[in-house]
Amino acid sequence: MLHNQRISLDGDWKLTYVENKRFKTEGRDISTIAKVNAAGWNSVDAKVPGNFELDFQRAGMIDDPYYGTNFIDNYKFEYLHLIYTRTVELEYEPDENTILHFDGIDTIAEIFVNGRLIGEADNMLIPFDFANANLHKGLNEIVIHITPARIAARRYPMAPTSTGGGSLLSIRKAPHMIGWDILPRVMTGGIWRPCWIEQKKADRIDDIFCYVKGMDVEKATANLAFVYNVTLAEDEAFDYKLIIEGECGDSKFRTGGMLWDPYGCMGAGVSNAKFWWPRNYGDPNLYNITATLYYKDEPVYEYKMRQGIRTVRLERTSTTNEAGEGEFCFYINGRKIFWQGTNWVPVDAFHSRDAERLPEILPMLTDIGCNCVRCWGGNVYEDDIFYDFCDENGIMIWQDFAHACAVNPQDDEYCARFYKEVEKIVLRLRGHTSIVLWAGDNEVDACYCWNWGNMRNPNINRLTRRVIPDVLEIHDFTRPYLPSSPYYDEKKFTTGASSSEEHLWGPRDYFKGRFYGHSVCHFASETGYHGCPSPVSLKRYIHPEQLWHWRSAPDSDLPKPDWAAHSAARMVDGSDGNVYRIRLMSNQVKTLFPAFREDEAAMGLDKFARASQISQAEAKKYFIERFRITKWRRTGIIWWNLI
């Protein structure tokens, strides 16, 4: 075998759950399955990957969380302790190369194996590996105890400068989970990504980082660097060699030789090079690369990767003006690229379902002609299938790190946790050619300026000005980095001038109004307009008696409960500001279609939905055309959003 071997832990688990008050009062030892069962708490069958609400739904305990106001009814589960248990049989005796791996645990968890606490997890966004995990040959017990995030967050003191999410800002969950303007509040938990036991080979390739040292498009040549880290079972490195080969059509390269050390760098020259180009600018060529580790001329490990040859550069200025004296332009392989694409937001509030939904959604990117996608910072970091698809289809990725619309803690402890997150994400994703920009967050610079009326300079943000750059300087110096979107550097903050890159939202009035028609930015990384779902979709999650009209009373702007809930309001009584979006959507229809101004209710749901969708389509058509007809004064538009 030339690879590590895995035993999947996906599938059937048992989920035991208990309210925090009872858990604290009883103070039970839950380190073994027998002790969990003896507690007398409720349990259900569970699936991994999964989320506990989906297990509750399968067990008949709750209805579809998306229907009506059901997700609001589920707030009562936010204080549940979740205890996942299962057994696994090992046919071999584990050693120091045996790893217990979790791709994603949401969120604050203790991991017990055969009665012993072997580690903890504190971040749903990154994987965790546990060596020396107390596994043995034969039957093993695994117990995962997840503390409710609402309770765990109280461990961390919050400073008055942290705004936009309460104490939950201290917990590394996907930001959208606290409730957003595009997603319901779902403070879910569970083992949401695959998990396994991995037997690593004693001789192995741990990582290879490939980057372009130089290239000439006209001559079709390139020089590549391969930085490798290997683990060797024997002391004498001289007995090992590493050979790296790549192939893309009729273009091939080969490099390698004897190892002097487990860490090093090898160069490779490529003639007749096939370059990776964004969609509509050329073919997204990818090389199939195989690295083989030999011991005494016998192959002992094989490492495969797919990567393209390309360079990326971002030319930008801090600000711009009506005369267009500024710039925000990407260059791929030295060529200017006009960006036309969509923002990418969560495909499901329950992220254990992401992987199964992605194959249906991803082809939409190519179907509508996108050559780019912006991974919004309120989300999780997507599954590998997403990045592979973009690599293969020439879709450039603008990758936010997972902070959004809030000022998160700045203390040393939080910065250290975030450093680990950034490091793991960069190491995981840097091999994807499609990622052409790292961005520090979504709208956090702007939040420093909102900040409950207390304007502060966003350039003091340790997370985006120190933590992320420190990681990128060490692990990925090949891509541009933008600290925030939009980015307010010292010049922008002190002068108040217009940014070269902006999120164009404004008053959401007539789409050809002054705000949209007079924006001076060069690049819009967010812009959009409201649109009502089709009635066939609305009927899937709104009760029949609430379908039409949307108002709770003829003279009220407060929507009916189901409409309010699906405007992503956390409460439906009007206390949550997001309910205004239904009225806003109605106003946009009336702006374009005067017939709706006198008696909207009489027009009926079908006509309202159709008119709203036409309004949205015309708005986005105008936004896109305005940028395209002024190319290269304007260099890209990423509209909101595909799903």
Contacts of 579 (CB under 8 A, 6+ apart): 558, 559, 564, 567, 569, 572
Q: What are phi and psi of 313, to 5 degrees?
A: -140, 140
pLDDT of residue 452: 63
Q: What is the pLDDT of residue 455?
A: 87
Q: Name the region of 60 (left: φ>0; alpha: ψ -120 to 50; beta: rest).
A: left
For residue 453, name the pLDDT band (cuts at 50, 70, 90). Answer: low
Give the pLDDT confidence of 553-599 residue by residue, as tens digits: 998 999 999 999 999 889 999 888 788 899 999 999 999 999 999 99
Three-state SS string over 385-429 comes to HHHHHHHHHCCEEEEECCCECCECCCCHHHHHHHHHHHHHHHHHH
Q: What integer pLDDT is reported at residue 579 of this predicted model? A: 86
Pick the CATH number of 312-530+620-639 from 3.20.20.80, 3.40.50.1580, 3.10.20.90, 1.10.8.60: 3.20.20.80
Q: Is 238 exposed, middle or buried (0-12, 13-18, 19+ CB in 10 A)?
A: exposed
pLDDT tens digits for 206-251?
A: 999 999 999 999 999 999 999 999 999 999 989 999 999 999 999 9
- 366-417 pLDDT, tens digit per residue, is 999 999 999 999 999 999 999 999 999 999 999 999 999 999 999 999 999 9
The yes-or-no verdict on residue 109 having pLDDT over 90 is: yes
Return the residue matching tokens 């071999």.
Answer: 92
In DSSP terms, which residues pair with 45 in a beta bridge?
Answer: 14
Q: Rounded to whole angstroms, what are the CA distances from 70 to 97, 346, 536?
A: 46, 19, 19
**What CATH number does the domain located at 204-307 have?**
2.60.40.10
450 pLDDT more than 90: no
Who contacts 66 (Cβ-Cβ below 8 Å, separation ≥6)? 184, 349, 540, 541
pLDDT band at residue 312 under the 50/70/90 scheme: very high
Instruction: Extract long-range pairs of 174-177: CB within 8 Å, 24+ residues apart.
Output: 174/124, 174/125, 174/346, 174/351, 174/378, 174/379, 174/380, 174/402, 175/377, 175/378, 175/379, 175/402, 175/403, 175/404, 175/405, 175/406, 176/345, 176/346, 176/349, 176/378, 176/379, 176/404, 177/349
Dmax (CA) of the chain: 86
265 to 207, 255, 299, 350, 426: CA distances (angstroms): 12, 11, 20, 41, 19
Axis crossing angle, helix 412-429 with helix 468-475, rounded to the nearest 10: 30
Task: Using a cut of 0.95, tell me whether the model's pTM lies above it.
Answer: yes
Distance CA 428, CA 495 (A): 38
Spatial CB neighbours of 121, under 8 Å, sequence gap ≥ 6: 102, 105, 107, 108, 109, 111, 128
Q: Residue 1's pLDDT is what? A: 76
Q: What does the pLDDT read at residue 382?
A: 98
> What's the Cα-to-Cα distance from 185 to each of 48, 75, 180, 406, 465, rounded to whole Å?
22, 8, 7, 16, 30
Contact yes or no for 332/436 (Cβ under 8 A): yes
Confidence of residue 451 (pLDDT cuts 50, 70, 90): low
User: In terms of Cα–Cα distance, which of 389, 469, 385, 383 is closest to 422?
Assistant: 469
Q: Is domain 5-199 in CATH 2.60.120.260, yes or no?
A: yes
DSSP category for residue 465: I
In the chain, where are the structural domains located?
A: 5-199, 204-307, 312-530+620-639, 535-618
For 142-154, write each residue's pLDDT tens digit: 999 999 999 999 9
Amino acid at position 444, single letter: V
pLDDT tens, 498-532?
999 999 998 989 999 999 999 999 999 999 999 99
DSSP letter assigned to residue 544 = G
Q: For 183-197, what is each residue's pLDDT tens digit? A: 999 999 999 999 999
Give, in order, the Cα–Cα distances in Å from 198 to each of 195, 232, 396, 559: 10, 18, 33, 52
Is the CB of residue 306 less than 8 Å from the CB of residue 289? yes
- Map residue 629 onto helix, strand or coil: coil
Mean pLDDT of 63-88: 98
pLDDT at 165 exceeding the cut of 90: no
Amino acid making up residue 591: T
Compute the average pLDDT of residues 2-25.
97
DSSP strands (E only) in 271-404: 287-295, 298-307, 312-316, 319-320, 328-332, 335-337, 339-344, 372-375, 396-400
What average pLDDT does the chain have?
97
